[in-house]
Amino acid sequence: MALGTKKVVHIAFVVKDLDKVADTWAKLLGIERPRIWNIPGPEVAPVLTFGRPELYRDCRISVIQLENITLELTQPGEEPSPWKSFLEEHGEGMMHMAFLVPDEKEAFDTIKEACGVEGYYHIGYYPEQSYSFVDTFDAIKTELNIKVDRDNCETMEQIRRQIREENQNSEKRGK
C-alpha cells in the first residue's frame, strides 16, 4: 500500500505578510514578482471544512512555478480558514505537500496506516480536480494535500446550493 505517486505537485507555505514573502522569493530566484490574488469563492471552487461549506473572502495567495515544483504562498485573513488555523497553531512555514494520486481510497488508507489519521478535514472542488487537506502534522511534521482528478460538477453545484440555502435561512432569521 502507498500513495501511488512519489511526485510532489506543490509545496504550500502559510505566511503573515504575503507581499514581503513574494518579493523576497522574486529577488532570490531572479524572477518578476508573482501575481497575488484572493482565494476564489464557491463560484469557482466550493470548499467544505469539517463538512461545512466555507467562504474565504480574505485569504490571499501567490503561486511560483519553478522548473521542478510549484511553491504556493498563502496569507490567511481574519475569517476562519484552514490557513489561519495552521498559522495560529504552528506559525509561519510549510503547511503541506500536495500529491496528485491515482487512487484516492488507497492514498487515504495508506495515510491512515502510516500516520494514524483518518480522512481529511478540508476539501475543495474544481470542475475536474479535488484537493483534500489531511492533518498529518504530528506524524510527519507537515500536512498532506491529496489531489484527485475527477468530474466534480455535480458536487460543486450541491455545495453552492447548500450555501444559497444557508444564506437564505440566515436572512430570514435576521428579519
Could you give the domains of the chain?
8-174 (3.10.180.10)
∠ CA 89-90-92, rounded to 5°: 125
pLDDT along the chain (175 residues), means of 10: 92 98 98 96 90 90 97 96 97 98 96 97 96 98 97 93 84 71
Q: How far apart are the first and last CA of the chain?
A: 54
DSSP 8-state code for residue 33 = P
The whole-number pLDDT of residue 175 equals 58
HSE value, Cβ hemisphere, 13 Å, CA-based, for 35:
4
> CB of 129 within 8 A of CB of 148?
yes
